[in-house]
């Protein structure tokens, strides 16, 4: 299962925050980004793995950086980046299939 606390700490570092004052907002943003990715055709099973795959982690971190706080001058640029990452993840479902399928050598996406 995904370690939200570890991801929260990484995002806190991304945001250059050295206290826990905004942890609730960060966790909320993580959860929102995951739900957004799931509703955009990214397989739910990816979020059941112990650690997010690099492209998914980057998308979640970008979403959080784009949506944290109120007066972020980079919000629009980061949100556009997130949307492009989300599109790529949604259309690359064959290459980004669950690990058990990759390890079994099944090239058709079947278990």
Give the count of domains, the chain: 1
Q: Each residue of 53-102: pLDDT tens digit?
A: 899 999 999 999 999 998 899 999 999 999 999 999 988 765 555 555 54
Count other C-beta atoms under 10 Å from residue 51's C-beta.
11
Residue 14 lies in a domain: yes
Residue 109 lies in a domain: no
Residue 111 lies in a domain: no
Residue 57 lies in a domain: yes
Residue 60 lies in a domain: yes
Q: pTM for this one?
A: 0.82
Residue 58 lies in a domain: yes
Average pLDDT over residues 17-30: 97
Supply the range of the domain harboring residue 82: 4-104
Residue 11 lies in a domain: yes
Residue 25 lies in a domain: yes
């Amino acid at each position: 299962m995904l370690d939200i606390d570890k991801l929260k700490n990484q995002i806190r570092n991304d945001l250059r925050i050295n206290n826990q004052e905004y942890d609730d907002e960060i966790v909320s943003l993580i959860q929102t980004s995951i739900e957004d990715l799931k509703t955009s055709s990214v397989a739910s099973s990816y979020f059941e793995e112990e650690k997010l795959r690099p492209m998914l982690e980057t998308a979640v971190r970008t979403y959080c950086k784009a949506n944290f706080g109120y007066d972020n001058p980079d919000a629009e640029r980061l949100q556009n980046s997130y949307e492009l990452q989300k599109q790529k993840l949604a259309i690359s479902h064959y290459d980004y299939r669950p690990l058990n399928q990759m390890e079994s050598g099944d090239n058709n996406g079947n278990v």
